[in-house]
Amino acid sequence: MNPKEMLEWSKQVWADVQANVARLDGCAGPHDFVPVDPTQKLNRRWVCTKCKGGVDNIARIWYERGRDHERRSHAGRDEKG
């Protein structure tokens, strides 16, 4: 790939990243991630069924941990009134 092609490729990659972030940020949520390829076990990618935004496995795990934390913290408040 020559330098001009590399520059165009990198611009397209950056535009794709920005579009993906916009989809994720604009999601009505909560995200509902499903595997892009259910047969793939390592380096799995996930896509939200609501916004079509994509994340890697680590980002999905941290998102789910945050959701679990949120549920636990709200459960404690609901019990205390």
Domain count, the chain: 1
Q: What is the pLDDT of residue 45?
A: 97
CA distances, 2 to each of 6, 12, 14, 63 (Å): 6, 15, 18, 38
Tell me the torsion sign for CA atoms 69, 70, 76, 79.
negative
Tell me the pLDDT tens digit for each residue of 11-34.
999 999 999 999 999 999 999 999
pLDDT averaged per 10 residues, the chain (length 81): 95 98 97 96 95 97 96 73 51
Q: Domain span at residue 53?
A: 3-80
Residue 30: is the preceding peptide bond cis (ω within 30°)?
Answer: yes
Q: What is the pLDDT of residue 66?
A: 96
